[in-house]
Structure 1
Amino acid sequence: MRAYQVVRGTLGCLGNLGISVGSKLVSLGANWIEGVGATGPVKNPILEATDKAKIKSVFSNYSALVSYDHQGANDYLHLLDEYDGNFTIATQDAASILENDLQDSSMRAGLSVAGWKPGRDMLAQASEWWSWDFGVSWSPDECGFQFGITGDNETFNRFGDERYLAIEERGLNAFVREEALTFLDGIEDPRLLLNTTVDAIEHSTKGVVVHDRNGGCVEAEYAICTFSVGVLQNDVVEFKPRLPVWKREAIEQFQMGTYTKIFMQFNESFWPEDAQFLLYADEDEPFRAEQQTDEETKAQILAVLRKMFPDANVPEPTAFMYPRWGQEDNWPVGMTLTKHQNLRANVGRLWFSGEANSAKYYGFMHGAYYEGKDAGERIAAMVKGEPIINQDTAPDGQLKRYEKLYGSVNMNEYNEGNGWPDDE
């Protein structure tokens, strides 16, 4: 059941609905096929699927970067090299935390210990934004250190460190639609309910009933819930009975950010055409585009562009638009592997899936692929009466969950020696 008129999700592409920006159809959802280039036997499943669907993409050359500040062109790319050196040290520290079961910290603390301290230097802050925030849509202050680095390491070390930007006018999600048609009888298949908004889910140990806004319902032995963390956090859907506390705590602690893509079309180029990316640093606080009108945001962007290119005649764009929805999950400070498992765990016959549920690959499309595949295989086995039972499950095949998660400090350690004097 989908609330939209296309098969989509995080891959949402309104271009598939016939909406365009100027003369181009644009993808409003996922952008990149990430983790490409490894020569080993393991291939990124998303790359295999997009190749099969003949998705057009271009190599993202992150070296084709030009830097600017409020006075125009300013080459401070050496700061990116400085960041990279410190990040390499931080990566080794994060690996040690994971391997030795040490206490985690924030990405900010990890970078600082490794030697990266941008302070109030706007050029260093812009370099950090390019190197970190651009990829995850969260600042280092808001990201857990251990798992903030682990996701990138697992993806780029296993599948390759290249990224390809999809430029497919059918939309990047064309590969999902093509795969769906291998088991559906076309878009009119009655098993596929589009334009159907779910507003309530009844669940028990006997089955699941999903209710939609139009008064209809679907009853099944099992169901997989793929709502984003943002939807689950905002109580858009009513669960009957309410999800247990251990589940809700995990949902509320994980995070979803806003990755705002702003599209502008011009009749002529005023930027260096050999550059793929333009990095801008300014002393002003960045504006929150998702809370503004299109006209306000467009005016602010044009003001920045005219600072970047003071000798050019920067015209009004011929087309302009941007979506406003959450797109990027974040493993926050304090989130443990066991609490994250509670995000993954099923509740009775209601299962949960999506890229946020992938401990190794959250934030990546292949994370969604692996989690969906896992949930589907487990449910199929249960329907056959042959549940998958291993170290990841309870004896009946249910996924592990932790109804009580304990800290690392014993009550007797709350003493004067640890700065907790008895004041009585």
Structure 2
Amino acid sequence: MMTIVLQLLVLLVAFPYTSGDSSRPKVLILGGGLAGLQAGNVLQQNGVRDFLILEADDRLGGRFLSPCPPEVPACVTEFHIEPSLPSPHPLQQLLERCKIANGTGAEENLVAVDDEGNDVTKEMNEAFGRLEITFTSLLVEWTPEEDDMDLQGSSRLYGWHPQTPVEQALDVYFSDLTFSARSSEMSTHVAVTSIGAAISQAGEYLNYFVKDSRTGFQDIVDCLKNGFLTQSDERVKLNTNVTHIQYSESGVTVTTADGTKYTADYAVVTFSLGVLQHETVRFVPSLSYSKRKTINKFSFGFYTLVYSQFSTRVDDPTSRVDEAPPYYISVTRRRNVYHFFYDAYETIERKVNHSQPNSLFIHWLIGNDAIRVETQEMSKTKAEVTQIFRGFFGRSTPEPENVFVSKANTNPLYYGSSPSFPSGATYEDYDKLREPLGRVFFAGDAYYMAESLNGATRALYSGTETAMAVIECMNGRSCAMKQYGSSPKCP
């Protein structure tokens, strides 16, 4: 009898009920970003309503909402909708269900200016032609059987040696825009698969620019959560920062910053890879060296969007109405610069009947440039972008009325912006990254292997896939995630 009592006491200490809760939830969803919301949505669709979402922020949405400027009534960005992917496509479903105004993007039209204000667009287009030849050869000749290497090295193998300021600026533009990472940080295997997928879907590969007269991204999050959560759903706890996760083969205990403990049979961790790499959440027992090595083997890069809003139209004096909206590239020898930008309103207006009397320029920065801009005074950032605009559009160009900087990289809830598959990582490593710990599963944009997808789509697919894996485990079947290690290319 004493032995039974002691065993019960041990279980109560290891997995105590949360004070105030009448029952122990079946599933704890840790993080209320897109992956967490989609996991809850899929669980409920499959009859599992007994879950609890713990979110450290004061609102749901996670990194998906972090780039959006509050001063701008509509958030403009790109989503990739790929019909070759598993159907139904979760992001396309959301856009349709939420009735979010969107349209396909135009072809790229590059405009380049150097430090002296000279138009070097002709040289840029010539360099772009040479870059296209290199990547055409790379796509045709590179095979999955070759040893992987970084994209910068493989590009040199096939003739791309950026030396002039124009070539160097184009190299940054191409890698930043395509992968949100430097070419020296990218796996060639993944890059070739990504670019090949885009080319093979010519005419079908859609860039959905989201522009809405309401609140843009927030509407998408609201539409997703309102599909399965009520207005004041008790299954959501905001401002709840998880500090410890205790796990075993029989359950999970989560401790928050205020000392509250939550228990469940299963947990879905949707923290960003950056949070796991910074080890701001402790696992009990501690993660093995092998697991920590795998987590840190993958890249979680820094990129920052700088929005500059004008109340008047700011036009390029050299552009023509019949041309596609330009992407502006700064060809410079200076360090810490804004390499390229575009007018989001102008881009969307060419495809969507939504006339705008103003301009909204978006600069895209990565790496050290992103961190520098996130941490400096806003007045300095405003002065820097104003100088760039005057170099392109003339000295009489006014200062932007509003400048907004997304700050996912220095936010301790994220510690970064975008995951990538670096050279040196293998699909076996990827399987180890996704591997559950006892009854702790993982979901998020880093856990769905498809580099050609934007982070929002990867997060939604991952939330679905992980929720279904949890359901399989509940039903006494496999508790493992799908394995990609035997695949010679991206799934």
TM over 0.5: yes
Read off the aligned partner of 1:336 and give its amino acid letter: T
Counterpart residue number, 1:33: 79
Tell me whether 1:314 sits opposite 2:397 in the alignment.
yes
Q: CA deviation at 1:163?
A: 1.0
Match of 2:135 among 58, 75, 87: 87
What residue in structure 1 maps to residue 59 of structure 2? 6
Tell me what 1:65 maps to: 110
Aligned mates of 1:161, 1:68 — CA distance in 2: 30
Instruction: Give me the TM-score of the superposition, normalised by structure 2.
Output: 0.71
Q: 1:359 to 1:92 in 2, by over 3 A?
A: farther
One-letter identity of the residue aligned with 2:134? N
Q: Do residues 375 (structure 1) and 481 (structure 2) align?
A: no
Q: 1:321 to 1:400 in 2, by over 3 A?
A: closer
| Aligned partner of residue 261 in structure 1, secondary structure | strand
Q: How does 1:65-214 map to 2 (within 5 A)?
A: 65-70=110-115, 71-75=117-121, 76-94=124-142, 96=143, 98=144, 101-119=145-163, 121-154=164-197, 157=200, 160-168=204-212, 169-186=214-231, 188-214=232-258
Higher relative contact order (CA 8 A, sep 6+): 2
CA–CA distance in structure 1, aligned partners of residues 150 and 98 of structure 2: 40
Kindly report the root-mean-square deviation, in angstroms, between the aligned alpha carbons of the 2 structures: 2.6
Q: 1:217 to 1:153 in 2, by over 3 A?
A: farther
Aligned equivalents of 2:390 and 2:455: distance in 1? 35
Larger mean Cα displacement after TM superposition, 163-172 or 359-368:
359-368
CA distance in 1, matches of 2:86, 2:183: 34
How far 1:62 sits from its partner (Å)? 3.5
2:307 & 2:395 partners in 1: Cα distance?
20
In 2: Cα distance, 1:48 partner to 1:3 partner: 27
Deviation per CA, 1:112-165: give whole Å up to 9, x if none: 11221112x111122222222123221111111112332444466469323122
Query: Residue 360 of structure 1 is aligned with which of 436, 450, 453?
Result: 450
Structure 1 distance, partners of 2:379, 2:252, is: 45
Could you say which residue in structure 2 is the equivalent of 1:323?
406
CA contact (8 A) 2:66 2:407 kept: no
- The residue number in structure 2 matching 1:421 is none
1:41–1:335 distance in 2 versus 1, CA, 3 Å: closer
Residues 1:229 and 2:273 aligned together: yes
**Pair 1:283 & 2:373 matched:** no
- Segments of 5+ residues of structure 1 without an aligned counterpart are 389-396, 403-424
Deviation at 1:177, TM superposition (A): 2.8
> Does the 8 Å contact 1:62/1:277 carry over to 2?
no
Please show how residues 393-412 of structure 1 align to structure 2 within 5 Å. Answer: 397-399=479-481
Residues 31 and 200 of structure 1, relative CA distance in 2, 3 Å threshold: farther
Look up the equivalent residue of 1:107 and give its one-letter code.
L
Aligned to 2:291: 247
Task: Evaluate the alpha carbon distance shift between residue 245 and residue 152 of structure 1 in structure 2; reply closer, same or farther with a 3 A threshold.
Answer: farther
1:2 to 1:151, Cα distance in 2 relative to 1, 3 A: farther
Between the aligned residues of both structures, percent identity stands at 23
Q: Shift in Å at residue 282 of structure 1? A: 0.9
- 1:197-216, CA deviations, whole angstroms, 9 ceiling, x for partnerless residues? 11211111111112222222
- CA separation of 1:41 and 1:214: change in aligned 2, threshold 3 A: closer
Gaps of 5+ in 2: 1-53, 338-368, 409-415, 485-491
1:211-238 CA-partner distances (Å, limit 9, x unpaired): 2222223211111111111111111211
Q: Tell me how far apart the structure 2 counterparts of residues 92 and 203 of structure 1 sit (CA, whole Å).
A: 47
Taking a change above 3 Å as real, the CA distance of residues 65 and 131 of structure 1, as seen in their structure-2 partners, is same
Partner of 1:411: none
1:301 maps onto 2:385 in alignment = yes
| 1:334-345 aligned within 5 A | 334-345=424-435
Q: 1:41 to 1:150 in 2, by over 3 A?
A: closer
TM-score by length of 1: 0.81
For the 8 Å contact 2:113–2:120, the answer to whether it is kept is yes
Q: Residue 376 of structure 2 is aligned with which of 269, 292, 309?
A: 292
